[in-house]
């Protein structure tokens, strides 16, 4: 392996615990507190070029795709430019229209994922501009892009991505900040976000410190063959990432769903044998989200609620099937990453409890370099 794991039981464990430091590294030297913006010299885009961007299209695979969805929300919210993420593995097969005023963003830890690389080549062949959010310096995707943001997560060895994903999220927040500040995002809002980003390493640490509590919850989840991860809007990509991590290393069937779509189908599957991990941040949707939890509890579905202190779960709090995990509050745009951290820890401990080696999940490779 590329580096020593020291006293840690596995690479995934070591990499999860390294996240506060990785977060510091990706932010270091890139925050401009005075003007409430970020410095991203590697993008090779000046203020005029940044202002000319009309749309952002993000491409990645697996977890990089899900964090791309988180990034798209942040860019829309802060810069008010239409932004969306797409699975890079599908992109080129639909002969996509490439627009000159769209900024394409390729996201990859390894920088070697073939589907993402081929998407980048497709964009460039058709005259588009693409920047990379890449961890491995000098990798194929980093070389093919017009510019980018290196993640500085350090080597990631475990198949299940943890610290790279966190740095991807933070790179998106730097990009969104800059796209916002050359438009209508106020300096006060820029400063508000910077203050939030600066608190993040410590807040991530405080979630990681609750390892014992999360291990107990994970043990309960590991007992089920099938589970749901649900969230809405900013919380939905978090649910997708949580389900992905759980599937990869526990081999349990974990399905992500929009909380709002439950009643349109999957509610039929809820029973005392099918737990739901619900993302319920204290945002504008909190009451609707809590109402959906009552629907699940009425069908005796066990609940793990990842939420914020002060969110009122009503009589669910006392229900024996409910476990609540409060994560620290940050700015609403940054909250998704703090909701993601406990889901990594849950997956990790569930795998461990099942006697599985989280570093070497069956059928999977760290990077997929052939189609």
Which chain residues interact with ligand AGP by CB under 6 A?
A: 61-64, 108-110, 113, 116, 159-161, 248, 367-368
Minimum distance from residue 347 beta carbon to ligand AGP (Å)? 9
Which is nearer to ligand AGP, 110 or 330 (by Cβ)? Answer: 110
Minimum distance from residue 365 beta carbon to ligand AGP (Å)? 8
Minimum distance from residue 153 beta carbon to ligand AGP (Å)? 10
Minimum distance from residue 166 beta carbon to ligand AGP (Å)? 12
Cα separation, 371 vs 128, whole angstroms: 23
**Helices within the chain (DSSP H only):** 11-17, 19-27, 47-51, 63-79, 88-91, 114-125, 140-144, 163-181, 187-208, 211-222, 235-250, 286-298, 335-353
343 contacts 351 by C-beta, under 8 angstroms:
no
How far lies 126's CA from each of 29, 43, 92, 107, in Å?
34, 20, 11, 19
Which is nearer to ligand AGP, 64 or 123 (by Cβ)? Answer: 64
Which residues are CB-neighbours of 60 under 8 A, at least 6 positions away? 67, 68, 85, 87, 88, 106, 107, 108, 113, 116
Minimum distance from residue 360 beta carbon to ligand AGP (Å)? 12
Minimum distance from residue 165 beta carbon to ligand AGP (Å)? 7
Q: Which region, left, alpha or beta, applies to residue 228 given φ > 0 means left and ψ of -120 to 50 means alpha?
A: beta
Q: Secondary structure of the chain: what % helix, strand, coil (to 5)?
A: 50, 15, 35
Which is nearer to ligand AGP, 40 or 249 (by Cβ)? Answer: 249
Which is nearer to ligand AGP, 64 or 239 (by Cβ)? Answer: 64
Which is nearer to ligand AGP, 212 or 363 (by Cβ)? Answer: 363
Which is nearer to ligand AGP, 57 or 181 (by Cβ)? Answer: 57
Structure tokens that stand for 65 in this block: 């795709």
Which is nearer to ligand AGP, 65 or 285 (by Cβ)? Answer: 65
Question: Which residue number has the CB closest to ligand AGP?
Answer: 62
Which is nearer to ligand AGP, 119 or 292 (by Cβ)? Answer: 119
Structure tokens that stand for 187 in this block: 């300096």
Minimum distance from residue 171 beta carbon to ligand AGP (Å)? 12
Minimum distance from residue 106 beta carbon to ligand AGP (Å)? 9
Question: How close are the terminal C-alpha atoms of the chain, in Å?
Answer: 25
Quick check: helix, strand or coil at residue 86?
Answer: strand
- CA 27, distance to chain mean position in Å, is 17
**Alpha-carbon torsion 16, 19, 25, 31, what sign?**
positive
């Amino acid at each position: 392996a590329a580096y020593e794991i020291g006293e840690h039981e596995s690479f995934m464990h070591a990499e999860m615990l390294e996240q506060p430091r990785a977060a510091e590294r990706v932010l270091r030297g890139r925050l401009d507190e005075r003007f409430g913006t970020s410095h991203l010299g590697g993008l090779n885009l000046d203020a005029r070029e940044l202002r000319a961007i009309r749309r952002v299209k993000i491409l990645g695979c697996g977890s990089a795709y899900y964090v791309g969805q988180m990034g798209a929300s942040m860019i829309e919210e802060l810069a008010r430019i239409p932004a969306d993420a797409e699975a890079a593995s599908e992109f080129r097969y639909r002969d996509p229209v490439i627009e000159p005023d769209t900024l394409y963003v390729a996201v990859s830890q390894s920088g070697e994922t073939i589907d993402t690389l081929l998407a980048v080549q497709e964009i460039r062949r058709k005259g588009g501009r693409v920047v990379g959010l890449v961890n491995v310096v000098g990798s194929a995707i980093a070389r093919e892009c017009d510019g980018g943001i290196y993640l500085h997560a350090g080597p990631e060895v475990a198949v299940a991505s943890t610290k790279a994903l966190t740095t991807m999220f933070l790179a998106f927040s730097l990009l969104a900040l800059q796209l916002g500040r050359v438009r209508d995002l106020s300096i006060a809002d820029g400063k508000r976000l910077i203050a939030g980003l600066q608190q993040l390493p410590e807040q991530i640490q405080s979630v990681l410190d609750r390892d014992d509590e999360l291990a107990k919850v994970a043990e309960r989840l590991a007992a089920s063959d099938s589970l749901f991860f649900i969230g809405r809007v900013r919380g939905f990509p978090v649910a997708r990432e949580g389900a992905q991590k759980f599937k990869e290393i526990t081999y349990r069937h974990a399905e992500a769903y929009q909380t709002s779509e439950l009643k349109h189908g999957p509610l039929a599957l809820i029973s005392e044998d099918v737990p739901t991990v619900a993302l319920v941040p204290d945002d504008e949707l909190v009451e609707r989200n809590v109402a959906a939890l009552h629907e699940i509890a009425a069908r005796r579905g066990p609940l793990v609620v990842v939420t914020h202190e002060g969110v009122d779960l009503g009589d669910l709090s006392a229900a024996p099937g409910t476990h609540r995990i409060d994560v620290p509050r940050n700015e609403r745009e940054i909250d998704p990453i703090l909701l993601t951290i406990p889901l990594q820890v849950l997956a990790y401990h569930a795998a461990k409890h099942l006697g599985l080696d989280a570093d070497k999940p069956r059928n999977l490779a760290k990077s997929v370099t052939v189609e």
